[in-house]
Amino acid sequence: MWLMLISGCKEQSEIPASGKFIDNRDKHEYSWVTVGTQTWMAENLAWLPEVSPPDIGSTSDPVFYVMGYMGTDANEARKTEGYSSYGVFYNWLAAMNRADTTLGSIYTRGICPEKWHLPSDQEWDILINFLGGEFNAGKKMKSTKGWESFEGVSGRGDNSSGFDGLPAGSRINAGKFYDTGYNALFWTATGSGEYSAWYRHLIYSHEGVNRYFLSKSWGLSVRCVKD
């Protein structure tokens, strides 16, 4: 009987814990999932204090974008399909939220809600290693919908981690939105020189997770991790 109970507990521990929370800033509700020792948001951050069209870019000032939205009215942008589907794209300065006084703490709070923070490059490593490493974790992190095919094979994942990575694409330096359906790109809190920072990248054509650096002016998605 004792052995059967232990076995049953082990099976339960393999099921990701999940739930929802409210961002008190705008009352937006988010899903979360616990993966290993970390708890991650299971959807893209959607906090939008202001918005710019994609032809506005900066490496020195915060800029916010919504997929497919070309205006400057944040209330209007929140009503779009791009916002409801993919949340907000942030340049790195917006993601880091330099005006936030909590940046001197153990975590880089960045643009994230209270009790959550922008994950460092090392915190992404913890997640990816738990899910089998850089060559295998992508399949477990990608959503089961929205991904284009590659050589006749669907690029979607199995979302067994509960991370639910959607292919939002990005806002690129050419001043346009790009690659929706093909890529999911997420900022880390770790810079790479004066003008670039590290990010993590899920792509339709393989099951891994890429790690690169980009200009801080690009608009990428943000996932927050629990303090």
pLDDT in tens, 29-64: 999 999 999 999 999 999 999 999 999 999 999 999
Q: What is the pTM assigned to this prediction? A: 0.90
Whole-number pLDDT of residue 105: 64
Whole-number pLDDT of residue 10: 34
pLDDT, mean over the chain: 91
In the chain, pLDDT over 90 holds for what percent of residues?
87
pLDDT in tens, 106-138: 788 999 999 999 999 999 999 999 999 999 999
Whole-number pLDDT of residue 15: 60
In the chain, pLDDT over 70 holds for what percent of residues?
90
Angle subtended at Cα 170 by Cα 168 and Cα 176, rounded to the nearest 5 degrees: 120
Q: How far is CA 23 from the centre of its chain?
A: 16
Q: What is the mean pLDDT of residues 139-154?
A: 95
pLDDT in tens, 184-225: 999 999 999 999 999 999 999 999 999 999 999 999 999 999
Within 10 Å of residue 17's Cβ, how many Cβ atoms? 12
DSSP state of 204: T
Q: What is the mean pLDDT of residues 158-167?
A: 97
Paired with 226 in beta bridges are 116
From the number of C-beta atoms within 10 Å of its C-beta (0-12, 13-18, 19+), residue 193 rates as: exposed
Q: What is the mean pLDDT of residues 150-172?
A: 96
**CA atoms of 166 and 168, how far apart (whole Å):** 6
CA distances from 143 to 44, 158, 166, 181, 204 (A): 12, 6, 6, 11, 11
Confidence of residue 5 (pLDDT cuts 50, 70, 90): very low
Residue type (1 letter), 143: S
Within 10 Å of residue 176's Cβ, how many Cβ atoms? 12
Structure tokens at 165: 């990575």
Whole-number pLDDT of residue 104: 53
Q: What is the mean pLDDT of residues 92-96?
A: 97
Structure tokens at 5: 């109970």
Residue 4, pLDDT above cutoff 60: no
